Amino acid sequence: MSRPLDGVTVVVTRERPGTLASQLREAGADVVHVPLIERRPTVDGPDVLAAALAGLGGGDWLVVTSPAGARAVFESVDELGDVSIACVGEATADAVRTNGRDVALVPRVAQLDGLLDEFPSGTGQVVLARADIADPRLVTGLEALGWAVDDVVAYATVERAPSVDEVDRAVRGDVVTLASGSAARAWARAVGAGASPAIVSIGPSTTSQAQRSGLRVTATATDQSVDGIVAAVVDAVTAAGSASA
């Protein structure tokens, strides 16, 4: 039985290929992994994060916006107390569950506004474990709901320059997936706007950054998740096949 991505080469640019690569392969794709970003702990991030988490109690929340943030949390503490956990996206939630914790909230729309729309009002404490380049509106949005927010930069996102061999393999692909604005900028610098792979973005903010970097985005996922970007890749490939038929 044919699969929607049989014969299609998809370039995955996130730091860890993970479930995105496995789902693309299940759909029939040949996956090429060319990481364009790296996440590194900040100098005092683990200590600051551990101290912030130690102050949480019942009724308080931990908000994690990425799998890297989840890893930073569980690398900084041996035990996490009685705290509710909210995650942006199922990949982030899975990273929390892998460490034996339940997730109380995963918004239906896997983005900042989706989290704020579903997050409860309250007067307790929220620890936000985020990247250095995260959108500051999340802090102000949580504060507007009544929470005292401990905003912790848990890790830094840096662009990674791919090797000549990696660039050569990437430009031979049919589709490249971009899961962050940082990856979009790195792709533009490493490969340029004239490269042949169709570009599929995980969401509007990544698409906007890609366009500002001179890239033409073929498709933008409507759901900012692994499932969403795989669906967008399938839609883009199907549309291209129909156009050439």
With helix as H, strand as E and coil as C, how does 135-161 read? CCHHHHHHHHCCCEEEEEEEEEEEECC
| Cα–Cα distance, 67 to 77 (Å, whole number) | 16
Quick check: 10 and 173 in contact, CB under 8 A?
A: yes
Residue (of 105, 34, 129, 158) closest to 139 by Cα position: 129
**Greatest mean pLDDT range, 63-72, 170-179, 216-225:** 170-179
Between the alpha carbon of residue 193 and those of residues 49, 71, 198, 215, 217, the distances in Å are 39, 33, 11, 5, 10
What confidence category does residue 74 fall into, taking pLDDT thresholds of 50, 70 and 90?
very high
**pLDDT, tens digit, 9 for 90 and up, residues 21-70:** 999 999 999 999 999 999 888 877 888 999 999 999 889 999 998 888 99
Dihedral of CA atoms 164, 180, 154, 129 in degrees, nearest 10, equals -160
pLDDT category at 121 given cuts 50, 70, 90 is very high
pLDDT at residue 243, as a whole number: 56
Smallest Cα–Cα separation from 83: which of 154, 156, 147?
147
* Cβ neighbours of 4 (radius 10 Å): 16
CATH number of 9-36+160-244: 3.40.50.10090
Report the distance separating Cα 245 and Cα 231, nearest Å.
21
pLDDT at 110: 72
pLDDT digits (tens, 9 = 90+) for 83-100: 999 998 887 898 899 999
Per the CB < 8 A criterion, the answer to whether 29 and 9 are in contact is yes
The amino acid sitting at 6 is D
Rounded to 5 degrees, φ, ψ at 151 are -90, 110
* Residue intervals in the chain for CATH 3.40.50.10090: 9-36+160-244, 40-157
- Determine the pLDDT at residue 244: 54
Whether residue 186 is predicted with pLDDT greater than 80 in this model: the reply is yes
For the record, the structure tokens of 81 come out as 């107390």
CA distance 119 to 147: 10
Q: Is the pLDDT of residue 2 over 80?
A: no
pLDDT value at 234 more than 70: yes
Q: Could you name the CATH architecture of 40-157? A: 3-Layer(aba) Sandwich (3.40)
Strand order in the sheet with 61-64: 37-41, 148-159, 125-131, 61-64, 84-87
